[in-house]
Chains A and B, each alone.
Chain A
Amino acid sequence: MIRLEEPRKFRMLVHQANQVASEIFRPNSRKYDRAEHAYPKELDMLSALMDGMNDGGDRGAGTAGLARAASDSNDIVNGANMSTVLGLIELCWGDVGLALSLPRQGLGNAAIAAVANEEQKKALRGCWAGMAITEPGCGSDSAAIRTTAVRDGDEFVINGEKIFVTAGQRCDHVVVWATLDPNKGRAAIKSFVVPKDNPGMKVLRLEHKLGIRSSDTATLVLENCRVPRSALLGNEDIDTKQGFGGVMQTFDNTRPVVAAMAIGVARAALERTRELLEQAGLNPDDYGADRWRMPAAQATFHELESEWEAARLLTLRAAWMADNGQPNSLQASMSKAKAGRMATQVTLKCAELGGALGYSEDELLEKWARDSKILDIFEGTQQIQLLIVARRLLGKSSAELK
């Protein structure tokens, strides 16, 4: 039966996440925006708490629980994908950078959850894994990866440079994408779990960024970095037919999660703007107001709200499909494309509606407008998402629609 409301059973979880966001993230939000690269030690205590939440029956707001549910019954499920999305909306309402800095909630953890075998999952339990894909010479075109992994007896030897590794400094493991054979294209690209204490891998430097400054973004260098064969996630064979499937699968599950982050930060901006408009004497919650005669700021606010609702519903749909075992690659990309651009549009417009307050560091509006931009870039840019959506709608291969 069609109903697009958040289920009651997640209220507790949403409430918990909101408490974390308002009591821990918000009070530290500006502090770590200014002190880029300083470790937000307030998060250590918090992560212990979140581990507890994750180990309990209820899913936390982490990424590790993301997996496609098996569709073994006809009953509709609201499960881990939806609760993760709902939790992250709350956390990122607090602060996107700090949410990205939560120990043991890295993108690498999502990859491990999606493609690791049972033995690997057991060995990596409790790890904090970053994800290293991008290289100086390739971003969205991950098939062009130049980092190599060469078999040497029972080990792989990895060589290459990785940039833009979120939590690359703070995490204890990194999922590194490397090719077994640069001449064999996508099918030869595999991912390897490399512990940070491996002497062959070093953090070269940290980036200074437009936003999400509380989250560290590292450049890693791998020099004759030796890992055991068991570090490879998935299948060792180069199957040109299966191609990218394994590693890319991670993204079907994580795109709605990034969309959720965008929804969270945009809601923060909308809520603060609503308060500021009320201070200015408007009543932004008057939805029955005469459409053409209401103040322009109020009309703008309603327009932003409708964009926000649209992105939110597309994201909940993608998560709901994953929870119910329905293939959702198309819908996941739609949600990421919409939410990514919505967050930039909404936070920038809210900064504009705030006037001086929207631009000044006295308010967080300007920060949200900087933080949000990354959400339309990482985990597949706006343009990559549109390519995926277009290929699916038009029935085109990546060779036809480039």
Chain B
Amino acid sequence: MAKRQRDVQGLGLAALNRLARSKTLDRLGLKKPTEKALYQASRTGFKVAGTAGRQFKAVKQLLRPARMETLKPSDLFDLTPTEEQTMVVESVRRFAEQALRPAAADAETHSEISEDVWKGAFELGLSLMAVPQALGGAGSERSPLSNALIAEALAWGDMGQALALMAPVGVANALSAWGNSDQQMRYLAAFAEDNPPDAALALLEPHPLADPQKPQCHGQALKDGSGWQLSGEKALVPLGPFADLLIVSAELEGLGPRLIVIKGDSDGLSAKAEPAMGLRAASLGRIVLDQITVQPADILGDQHAFEQAVALARLGWCALAVGTCQAVLDYVIPYVNERKAFGEPVSHRQGVAFTVANMGLELDAMRLMMWRATARAEQGQSFLREAVLAHRYCADKAMQIGSDGVQMLGGHGYVKEHPVERWYRDLRAVANLEGGLLL
């Protein structure tokens, strides 16, 4: 493809564009959207993140890290969730249906979740379950699968809000899996409190072809050997503009790629809103790290933990994709059964019916692949291959289902009267985004 150059016509169009911007807006009464855009622009100015210096103080004493047990698996192939999982998922599903779905459009418009939804999620005990009992939480076993089922159920309600709700849970999961006792005492206990911190796993970087396995965020070793000076950028981080706590990935000189715990009010950290195609309810943000001091105590786990985090985050995206695609399918089926063309429901045509059949079977395949990789992770088996294959599969098929969802509604799918256009935008993220949540 030749690089396009601006010709005379292009210059003319550009001029017209400028003209249109200034005059027609007023004339057509489109002032509101302009103001909205200005508002967004003002929000996008970089500022110090975090809820004005949230204090993380060690409240409990831990002699060794509190690791939650994993359930002993049986030897059988089995697709039955445990009784506890069934109960939890049922209540999360109800919450998704009654709280998240009705709030989805508003949360997107305001680029954040309402207080009520945060409160509801807290009452569900979402982050409480990720904190071991020794630290005041309710978690008895570390279960990526339970997290997956919860993420699925939340995303059925709304993917953007689900991402925002799962982001702090992911940080708690990481701290509980890999944190040392100091890190757990300092940070993890806070997730069991009344007002859990806004937190997220920040892996994605704003470069083309970025590879999460090789972060370009770089920590330069300090001459006195006391730590590193960390610089770089993280993109599309959920809750980014006001995060109290971040786990970022970076290449540390002399050590390799690592996860690093960084407080939102650290010197050298700034954040701004980074609105995107979808998932706006998750308050996505760009994080700039400018010569932040990192000490060995801030490093979370080893390189193995870093690699697992990338994979468990991808499985998180698979879980969100599965829940959202289920929402698409559940919405499309009654629509094509009720919508009539040529004297009968459009679902009586194979062109429509086969599309629905493929949406259904690919969705089931996505879910099974995600479950398998997640179950392997939970049960201590190697799972990187399974996670990569599941992620690739979910990324492709989820977008296809999102696209088919709009297609099945025709023109009505393209307008905001129906949620399928939002799901289409949300599902584009499955292949693009890394980190953000962690099962």
Contacts and interface: CB of A to CB of B under 8 A. Distances in A.
A55 interface: no
Given A287-B388, A303-B392, A313-B369, A394 B333 contact: yes
Contacts of A309: 369, 372, 386, 389-390, 393
Contacts of A400: 345, 348
Nearest to A382: B354
Contacts of B26: none
B11 interface: no
Nearest to A330: B360
Nearest to B376: A5
Contacts of B360: 334, 389, 393
B382 to A, nearest CB: 10
Contact of B76 (A78, A303, A402): A78
Given A317-B79, A394-B337, A302 B356 contact: no
Given A4-B372, A334-B364, A386-B358, A401 B353 contact: yes
Contacts of A8: 75
B135 to A, nearest CB: 26
B375 A4 contact: yes
Given A76-B78, A302-B392, A313-B369, 12 more contacts: A7-B77, A76-B74, A287-B384, A309-B372, A309-B386, A310-B362, A310-B369, A334-B364, A387-B353, A387-B354, A391-B353, A396-B353
Contacts of B214: 290
B357 A337 contact: yes
21 contacts: A1-B71, A1-B74, A1-B81, A3-B78, A3-B379, A4-B77, A4-B79, A4-B368, A5-B375, A78-B77, A82-B77, A287-B389, A290-B213, A293-B211, A302-B389, A306-B389, A309-B386, A314-B364, A317-B368, A393-B329, A394-B356
B385 to A, nearest CB: 5
Interface string A297-312: 0000011011101110
Interface of A: 1-9, 76, 78, 82, 285, 287-288, 290-293, 302-303, 305-307, 309-311, 313-314, 316-317, 320, 331, 334, 337-338, 383, 386-387, 389-391, 393-396, 400-402
A310 B358 CA distance: 13
B77 A6 contact: yes
A389 B75 contact: no
B361 A314 contact: yes
Given A3-B375, A313-B369, A390 B73 contact: no
B347 interface: yes
Contact of A390 (B85, B357, B366, B368): B357
A1 B368 contact: no
Interface of B: 71, 73-82, 85, 145, 209, 211, 213-214, 307, 329, 333, 336-337, 345, 347-348, 350, 353-354, 356-358, 360-362, 364-366, 368-369, 371-372, 375-376, 379, 381, 384-386, 388-390, 392-393
A338 B77 contact: no
A339 to B, nearest CB: 10
B174 to A, nearest CB: 19
A393 B333 contact: yes
Select the residue from B80, B209, B357, B358 with max chain A CB neighbours within 10 A.
Answer: B357
Contact of B365 (A292, A313, A390): A313
B78 A337 contact: no
Contacts of B76: 3, 7, 76, 78
B391 to A, nearest CB: 9
Contacts of B348: 396, 400-402
B388 A320 contact: no
Contacts of A2: 78-81, 85, 145, 371, 375
Given A394-B337, A395-B337, A287 B369 contact: no
B361 A4 contact: no
A154 to B, nearest CB: 45
Given A288-B384, A337-B357, A386-B357, A1 B211 contact: no
Sort A-B residue pairs by CB-CB distance and give the 6 closest, nearest first. A390-B353, A310-B365, A313-B368, A4-B372, A389-B357, A390-B357
B393 A310 contact: yes
A212 to B, nearest CB: 25
B353 to A, nearest CB: 4
Contacts of A317: 79, 364, 368
Nearest to B337: A394
Contacts of A338: 361, 365
A1 B365 contact: no
Contacts of B372: 4-5, 309, 313
A311 B393 CA distance: 12
Contacts of B358: 386
Contact of B77 (A5, A288, A383, A401): A5
A390 B356 contact: yes
Contacts of B381: 5
Contact of A292 (B81, B209, B388): B209
A387 B350 contact: yes
A385 to B, nearest CB: 8
Contacts of B209: 290, 292-293
Nearest to B82: A1
B389 A305 contact: yes
Nearest to B353: A390
Contacts of B307: 288
Contacts of B390: 306, 309
Select the residue from A2, A291, A310, A338 with max chain B CB neighbours within 10 A.
Answer: A2
A76 B347 CA distance: 37
Contacts of B345: 400
A214 B369 CA distance: 35
